[in-house]
Structure 1
């Protein structure tokens, strides 16, 4: 399975991020290309532990998170369309896409030296490093496919 901890996978994601343009149209969902890039950036920063986030498992996660985690990390099956963005929804509709792409790429590159033992997903709960790597790839892949790259 692909994981953000593999250099070739990070390189693939970076190449795909670089294919995004202001004219990239979504194939599903509500976010525009800028919102998607910012959403992915904020999500990666959360996983990386930027700005010392407080990690807490939501109530529904405590009930169903482990089962959902296993389902989402057991194989190469991509994440389905139209999953909600949750607490990482981006309200601002416009911004500098090129700048946001650079910040997103920097986040992807930082997985080379990933070290955040405190990370706990708000729905899945505690995750192994392998699960973090696989799901982080799937999350980025989901949104890049959303914009046809």
Structure 2
């Protein structure tokens, strides 16, 4: 699995984000492209320590889902999400795209950092696991909108 800490993977995500439009065709799910981009900001806010969204440690999640978050296997369509990350509010496409682009810039600025705090739900993650999880989440939702 690619990692968002890798220059090539980050550039790929940026290119795919650039090709996303308000009219990108949704393949599954209920979110609009604007809602999806807002949703994609939330895990980036967690790793950048801007928010933790009241995510709680959960032994069930740690035991059964943690490895799936950063494994090489792509996530399946229509995976459930935690209630804090569910997106039902209408979102402006342009604004959300700009915010997501800005978070990717901030993420890139942190790429040499080694001291990552534990994930609020999954606990301790290595830098490699954090990077794979971030890439995998963005890839999942960009595939949702065929980009």
| Pair 67,128 (structure 1): closer, same or farther in 2 beyond 3 Å | farther
Instruction: Tell me what 1:120 maps to.
Output: 119
Matched, 1:45 2:38: no
**1:71-128 CA distances to partner (integer Å, 9 max, x unpaired)?**
44332x21111012322112212x3212211110121222223356223142x32211
Asked if 1 retains the 8 angstrom alpha-carbon contact of 2:31 and 2:88, the reply is no
What residue number does 1:131 align with? 129
Whether the aligned pair in 2 keeps the contact of 1:3 and 1:136 (CA below 8 Å) is yes
After superposition, the C-alpha distances for 1:22-55 in whole angstroms (9 at most, x for unaligned) are: 1112101111111100000122112211147666
* Aligned-partner Cα distance in 1 for 2:105–2:86: 23
Structure 1, gaps ≥5 residues long: none
Report the counterpart of residue 31 of structure 2 in structure 1.
Answer: 31
Indicate yes or no: 2:92 matched with 1:100. Answer: no
> In 2, Cα distance between the equivalents of 1:14 and 1:23?
18
1:146 to 139, 144, 147: 144
The CA distance in 2 between the partners of 1:51 and 1:84, in whole Å, is 21
Gaps of 5+ in 2: none
Q: CA RMSD in A?
A: 2.0
Number of aligned positions between the proteins: 143
Q: TM-score, normalised by structure 2?
A: 0.85
**TM value normalised by structure 1:** 0.84
